[in-house]
């Protein structure tokens, strides 16, 4: 039983390690999807729609990435829109 029990423990550790690594990868993928804070993107998209979607270079009515796509008039600091 000693050898059988240690095999089960080793198998459990492998599963736990893989699950933990999966959660880490999912968490990191969230940050690698875009260069701009998602809350800032939602707010600036609402502003753009409220202005009647004027023809501004780089701007799109939904989604997009204001910081990495260099939307006209948008200043970013790291992942946050600052002005």
Helix or strand run (H / E) with residue 80? strand 80-81
33 token code pair:
């999807």
Give the pLDDT score at 15: 76
Which pLDDT tens digits describe the chain residue by residue (83 residues)? Answer: 555 667 777 777 777 677 666 555 554 444 445 678 888 888 898 888 899 989 988 888 777 888 888 889 999 988 899 99
Rounded distance between C-alpha atoms, residue 72 and residue 20, angstroms: 41
Q: How far apart are CA 9 and CA 2, in angstroms?
A: 11
b vs e for 40-64, b when ≥16 Cβ sit within 10 Å of the residue's Cβ? bbeebbeebeeeeeeeeeebeeeeb
What is the pLDDT, as a whole number, of residue 26? Answer: 55
Cβ pair 62, 46 in contact under 8 A = no
């Amino acid at each position: 039983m000693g050898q059988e029990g240690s095999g089960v423990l080793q198998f459990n550790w492998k599963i736990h390690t893989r699950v933990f690594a999966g959660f880490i990868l999912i968490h990191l993928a969230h940050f690698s999807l875009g260069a701009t804070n998602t809350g800032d993107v939602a707010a600036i998209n609402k502003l753009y729609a409220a202005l009647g979607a004027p023809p501004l270079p780089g701007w799109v009515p939904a989604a997009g990435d204001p910081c990495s796509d260099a939307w006209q008039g948008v200043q970013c600091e790291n992942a946050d829109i600052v002005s």
